[in-house]
Every structure is written in structure tokens, then in C-alpha cells.
Amino acid sequence: MENNALNKINRVDSNLRDEMLAEQFLNQVMNDFKRSKILKEIDQSLKNKDKETFLHLTEKLKSIA
């Protein structure tokens, strides 16, 4: 009986750990995508010599975790 309960707890812990890892992975992928997009926009603002947009985008980039 006790062993069965421990197996259930281990499965729950394993499922929770997998869920947390998947969530961390997705968050990292999303942040990488956002960062890449902003960096391209920063490059474009530099080409256009658009200081206001550049400053806005660099602040936005800083806010990405």
C-alpha cells in the first residue's frame, strides 16, 4: 500500500517536473523570438537614423527576461 502511494507521488512529481521544464523551454523560445525581432527592428532604426525608435526599442529589449 505504502509503495503504491510512493509510486503515485513519484509520477506526479515527474509530471510536474516535465510540465515545468516544458514551460521554461517555451518561455525561453518566446523570449529568444522577441529578442531577435526587436534586434532586427533596432538594426532598421539605425539604418533609418531614427533615434526615437532606437531608444524605444532598446528599452523594450531591456525588459525581456
Q: What is the DSSP string of 10-28?
A: HHHHHHHHHHHHHHHHHHH
Report residue 50: phi and psi, to 5°.
-100, 90
What gap in Å lies between CA 49 and CA 38, rounded to an integer? 16
pLDDT of residue 1: 53
Average pLDDT over residues 35-41: 98
Percent over 70 (pLDDT), the chain: 85
- CA atoms of 58 and 16, how far apart (whole Å): 36
More confident residue, 1 or 43: 43
DSSP classification of residue 63: T
Question: Tell me, what's the pLDDT at 42?
Answer: 98
pTM here is 0.73
Q: Return the pLDDT at 4.
A: 74
